[in-house]
Amino acid sequence: MKLAQILFSQGFGTRRTCEGLVWAGLVRHQGRVLDNPAEDLPTEGLVLEVEGRSWPYHAKALVLLHKPAGYECSQKPRHHPSVMSLLPAPLRERGVQPIGRLDEDTTGLLLLTDDGALIHRLTSPKHHVPKVYEVGCKHPVDDRMLASLLAGVVLDDDPAPVRAAACVASGSHGLQLTLTEGKYHQVKRMVAAVGNRVETLHRSRFGGLALPPDLKPGHWLWADATAVQSPLPGH
């Protein structure tokens, strides 16, 4: 693929802007300054340096963000900053969007992509992609609550019971909840349905991906679509 087209596909601006980056000597490959926008480069394994930043080529972008509290999963936020503001401009330019949403006060693993087919596969109820949440509750967690969440609770917008795929206590006021659906405020509503209240909520896993322990809130990294579609360990 021609260099200018590669830069355009990665979100570095219009074709004219991408050509300008090359002509200004701001694009390197393996230490060599690339000065011809029409130069053909193989995209397999390609890593460019653009304006001093290493940038691996991805035909479709998939990134894992450690979402902090106080951010909305919307490109048009109403009350708080958008999670999009935590990403570099090329990712925003190429149109990545969250795969599902986390509430403003919920933290943890958030995936974003520009791959519409992947969004469908990971959010469709037919595929039952598990997501794991670490829940801090206002009241103590007891065996009755765990049993009810596993058996299924009825939410106010659907007569069909909603069940946790897995549910275990974590300390006196915490639980680890695994869901394969994605209803609005589902964790909070399920916990409320068993007589408790969510005080803190953190997503630790999505499919086969776990939030890296060393990834700080507000930071991101490239993710592997194959890994996220793998089952959780033990599932």
Greater pLDDT, 209 or 181 = 209
pLDDT for res 125: 75
Average pLDDT, the chain: 92
Is residue 136 within a helix (H) or strand (E), and if so which, with residue range?
A: strand 131-137
pTM: 0.91
Token pair listed for 219: 């930071």
Active-site residue numbers?
Answer: 103
Q: What is the pLDDT of residues 55-75, one digit of tens each?
A: 999 999 999 999 999 999 887
Distances (CA, A) of 217 to 76, 111, 183: 21, 14, 25
Q: How far apart are CA 108 and CA 173, in angstroms?
A: 19
Ordered by where they begin, the domains of the chain are 3-56 (3.10.290.10), 62-124+214-228 (3.30.70.580), 130-206 (3.30.70.1560)
Q: What is the pLDDT of residues 97-118, one digit of tens each?
A: 999 889 999 999 999 999 999 9
